[in-house]
Amino acid sequence: MSAQSPTVAHPSAFIRFNDLVGLLQTVFVRHGTSPEVARLLAHNCASAERDGAHSHGIFRIPGYLSTLASGWVDGKAIPVVDDVASGFVRVDAGNGFAQPALAAARSLLVDKARNAGIALLAIHNSHHFAALWPDVEPFAEEGLVALSVVNSMTCVVPHGADRPLFGTNPIAFAAPRADGPPIVFDLATSAIAHGDVQIAARKGERLPPGMGVDSLGQPTEDPKAVLEGGALLPFGGHKGSALSMMVELLAAALTGGNFSFEFNWADHPGARTPWTGQLLIVIDPSKTAGQSFAERSQELVRQMHAAGLRRLPGDRRHRTRAKSDEQGIEVDAHELAQLRELLL
Amino acid sequence: MSAQSPTVAHPSAFIRFNDLVGLLQTVFVRHGTSPEVARLLAHNCASAERDGAHSHGIFRIPGYLSTLASGWVDGKAIPVVDDVASGFVRVDAGNGFAQPALAAARSLLVDKARNAGIALLAIHNSHHFAALWPDVEPFAEEGLVALSVVNSMTCVVPHGADRPLFGTNPIAFAAPRADGPPIVFDLATSAIAHGDVQIAARKGERLPPGMGVDSLGQPTEDPKAVLEGGALLPFGGHKGSALSMMVELLAAALTGGNFSFEFNWADHPGARTPWTGQLLIVIDPSKTAGQSFAERSQELVRQMHAAGLRRLPGDRRHRTRAKSDEQGIEVDAHELAQLRELLL
């Protein structure tokens, strides 16, 4: 799970989900997005915080705001949806965020998936700076299977290469099941998510071995050395590297977006959001032969538990979500105070 | 690459591709397949041998033949193709091999992908005992992007579990490029392919660390301990394990096929072929915005080389293929003699 990170630094404060969404929404609008873009980004960001995925929660706000201030992204972009074929939708995000592009094409994509059995959404000219699971999980809540990939910015050395080229290039997948929340995972094809390196650097923690290299290409466990001219490694050696390459091909080459190495934000100091593309594939499992998909996936979950697996992908998020719904979202009090100061 | 394995044991013999296909075809028919099934399996197996993917070449023949002799698989099955929706084709392989099922649905699948932009092929009631890249590479040679997953038989311990549950569950991907053969990879989501463990055991070699456990669940580097009651580990820890779970969901739950743990061949001594399902997704990249996909993927290859990557996924196979086309396929003389004896 790319979005899992260490516990929140204390002291803690508690905030209701809707209050956090409202707060973030006001912050985004105040910093140059349209109300609709603010609504989507606030919901995404608050969902990550609610689920304990701190590296994609409030932690991201300064990066969003410095990017908006730099003029690198258009916070008011209106996505243009192109109905290309019975299973293929294209969106030009207009140099805006990817989430509004997905929202604009979503109902068309679902209709196509239900009619054709499978449909593809190709988003380009887009910025994705968030966790990827919020993009796929809602499809599974509607009984659909969804897969998404997004490329990011050069920070991963391909296996066997000398220099970074790929992004952290996550793959997210969601599938419904009969007796519980969807099965969902979201994994960076880098050995560690970029946000988790930033969090480790901020906390003064070391990285586990095998995660990254320094500016000379030498292995390092110092997150600052990775962030300052160093790079990440792919997970799982040549296999993770092959999957990261696949993400470049699907999220950039197949959408018409930039590869992770193709954009240059040097003229936009403060810019943090990768300007690339995103691909989603949505499948209607009711077209499957035999027993319902949700019953079959439930059987797999049952057998995974029987094999001794205590925690399924997504379980920790769903448990944290239940806790947040009950007592409010536990956030870093200092971070929350900083957020409120943005509105003064 | 699941299909790459150590060099052929000497002494070597050389055989032309078409001669090997013809020889294997005769062997298959002699052991109970229809001529059409024999043609497809022989071509698949000879292609693996030609490309240096020995663990899926001639090495597989005894397993195929003992399975046919056991009555576990129907070597004469006629696949039933079901045109479910504009992007969804289903095939009941009739307890036969997966390759004839793919062949039977192939032209319909390609037509749908070209019309809808994306199409899915769900094969169930099928046996897949071969490398997966031969299933996807031909689509890329026609300018299409293809992804396939197939589940196999319980031999991989999910990350965090106590007992094996998943199969080696490979993922194969192929994409066209402008100035060279397609970009192709085929990776087992296990830390090592099952065939490579068998080859190591036969050669008396040790496995690298982190590949498998013995019958007590303890880490081992002894391939025999893995094969005799032990199990494999997923590649890349919890991430590879999540991908392996995804393969179970896509190749079995979504096709109507068996999970890797659902079939029982105890009554068929000699049976070796997993009775599961296979999923293929084929995308027409001509629906992409902007520059042609093949030019974009070529640019990615160019940049990967510039970053110091000497060998792309698939490069080794393509180089061995060129050598085999020139001088004949270099095979183990003893293995070839055994193959010829099957026809006496």
Query: What's the pLDDT score for residue A46?
Result: 97
Q: What is the pLDDT of residue A9?
A: 54
Q: What is the mean pLDDT of chain B?
A: 94
Contacts of A317 in chain B (CB under 8 A): none
State the Cα–Cα distance between residues B23 and B46, nearest whole angstrom.
Answer: 10
What residues of B are in contact with residue A252 (Cβ under 8 Å)?
A: 296, 300
Q: Are A266 and A129 in contact (CB under 8 A)?
A: no
Peptide bond between residue B170 and the one before it cis (omega within 30 degrees of 0) = no
A213–chain B Cβ distance below 8 A for any pair: no
Percent of chain B clearing pLDDT 90 (strictly above): 90
The ipTM is: 0.95
Q: Name which of A318, A221, A292, A254 is nearest B144 in CA terms.
A: A254
- Scanning B187-206 for CB atoms below 8 A from A yields 187
pLDDT tens digits along B244-280: 999 999 999 999 999 999 999 999 999 999 999 999 9
| Interval B336-342 mean pLDDT | 91
Residue B87 has its nearest CB partner, among A87, A245, A309, at: A87
Q: Given CB atoms, is B158 within the 8 Å cutoff of chain A? A: yes
Pick among B156, B190, B244, B288 to test the A interface (most A CBs inside 10 A): B288
Q: Is there a contact between B116 and A87 if contact means CB atoms under 8 Å apart?
A: yes
Beta-carbon separation of A259 and B163 below 8 A: no
How far does B16 lie from chain A, in Å, by closest CA? 31
A86 is catalytic: no
Min Cα distance A310 → chain B (Å) is: 7
pLDDT at residue A3, rounded to an integer: 41
In the residue annotation, A19 being an active-site residue is answered as: no
Task: Say whether A196 is catalytic.
Answer: yes
Is A27 or B9 the better-scoring residue by pLDDT? A27
What string of pLDDT tens digits covers the 344 residues of chain A?
Answer: 344 444 545 699 999 999 999 999 999 999 999 999 999 999 999 999 999 998 899 999 999 999 999 999 999 999 999 999 999 999 999 999 999 999 999 999 999 999 999 999 999 999 999 999 999 999 999 999 999 999 999 999 999 999 999 999 999 999 999 999 999 999 999 999 888 898 899 999 999 999 999 999 899 999 999 999 999 999 999 999 999 999 999 999 999 999 999 999 999 999 999 999 999 999 999 999 878 999 999 999 999 999 999 988 889 999 999 999 999 999 999 999 999 998 87
Q: What pLDDT does A190 receive?
A: 97
The confidence score (pLDDT) of residue B195 equals 83
Whole-number Å distance between alpha carbons of B96 and B41: 12
Q: Would you say residue B5 has pLDDT above 50? A: no
Span B140-168, mean pLDDT?
A: 97
Out of A43, A54, A56, A194, which one is annotated catalytic? Answer: A56
Q: Which of B233, B248, B287 to mutate to test the interface with A (most CBs of A within 10 A)?
A: B287
| Domains of chain B, first to last | 78-190+234-312 (3.30.1370.60)
What pLDDT, on a 0 to 100 scale, did the predictor assign at position B9?
53
Q: What is the pLDDT of residue A165?
A: 98
In whole angstroms, what is the distance from residue A225 CA to residue B200 CA?
40
Q: Are strands A88-97 and A80-85 parallel, antiparallel or unpaired?
A: antiparallel
Q: DSSP states of A62-122 as a string?
A: HHHHHHHHHTSS-TT---EEEEEETTEEEEEEEEEEHHHHHHHHHHHHHHHHHHHSEEEEE
Query: What pLDDT does residue A10 have?
Result: 64
Distance CA B165, CA A12 (A): 41
Q: Is A259's CB within 8 Å of B300's CB? A: yes
* Portion 280-339 of B in contact with A at CB < 8 A: 281, 283-285, 287-291, 293, 296-297, 299-300, 303-304, 307-311, 313
Interface test with B, best of A121, A173, A196, A309 (most B CBs within 10 A): A309
Active site residues of B: 55-56, 196
pLDDT, position A6: 47
Q: How far apart are CA A32 and CA A74, in angstroms?
A: 8
Whole-number CA gyration radius for chain B: 20
User: Which amino acid type is present at position A198?
Assistant: Q
Looking at chain B, the whole-number percentage of residues with pLDDT higher than 70 is: 97
Using CA atoms of B107, B108, B109, B111 in order, give the dihedral in degrees to the nearest 10. 90
Residue B37 confidence (pLDDT)? 98
- Distance CA(A103)–CA(A83), nearest Å, equals 15
B2 band by pLDDT with thresholds 50, 70 and 90: very low
Per annotation, catalytic residue among A51, A74, A135, A196? A196
Task: Name the residue facing B162 among A173, A253, A308 (closest C-beta).
Answer: A308
| Residue B3 reports pLDDT greater than 50 | no
CA dihedral B221, B223, B229, B230 (to 10 degrees): 40
